[in-house]
Amino acid sequence: MIRNIEQVRAKKAYGFVNEIKRDFQEENAKKYKSYVKKLPMLIKSNGLGAALSFALQKGKNDKDNAWGRLYNQINEWIRENKSFLLGDNPSDDLAAVVISRNSSEYRALTIEIISLLTWVRRFAEGLIEGEPDVD
């Protein structure tokens, strides 16, 4: 059975959120939920490169940090499903690759990441209860 891209995104997003529920303590899971809600607006207001750089800086490559995990999940999705948008050197860091793309590739990456985050947000809102105490 051939699945459309929305089904593939939804399945991956569901897996990402369940991974957070399994690996994170409740407060960090709530922070993740909050960040998933914020990131699309950061992308729209500041651009994809700036938003990814912000998430990377906040996450400091720490897999147990909500920003870091979100950044790594986006990176995983793009590398597995849209690697053709990454150009010649797919081993480079996602933020570095994004800012070096031409405008049409940059727009395509922006649309793809926002589409993924839409599904992640939906599942996070349904599967992670509450809001973080302090942001």
Distances (CA, A) of 32 to 50, 53, 60, 115: 19, 17, 15, 17
Q: In the predicted model, is pLDDT for residue 134 greater than 60?
A: no
Q: Does domain 16-127 have CATH number 3.60.21.10?
A: no
Q: What is the pLDDT of residue 82?
A: 75
Burial class of residue 117 (count of CB atoms within 10 Å of its CB; 0-12, 13-18, 19+): buried
What pLDDT, on a 0 to 100 scale, did the predictor assign at position 100? 85
Contact 36, 125 (CB under 8 A): no
For the cut 80, the answer to whether the pLDDT of residue 135 exceeds it is: no
* Pick from 50, 23, 39, 45: nearest CA to 128: 23
Task: State whether the Cα torsion 10-16-19-21 is positive or negative.
Answer: negative
pLDDT of residue 73: 95
pLDDT in tens, 13-39: 999 999 999 999 888 999 999 999 999
Q: Exposed, middle or buried by CB within 10 Å (0-12, 13-18, 19+), for 9?
A: buried
Q: For position 96, what pLDDT does the model report?
A: 83
Per-residue model confidence (pLDDT) at position 125: 94
Tens digits of residue pLDDT in 60-111 = 766 678 999 999 999 999 888 877 777 666 566 888 888 888 899 899 999 9
Candidates 78, 69, 87; CA nearest to 115 is 78
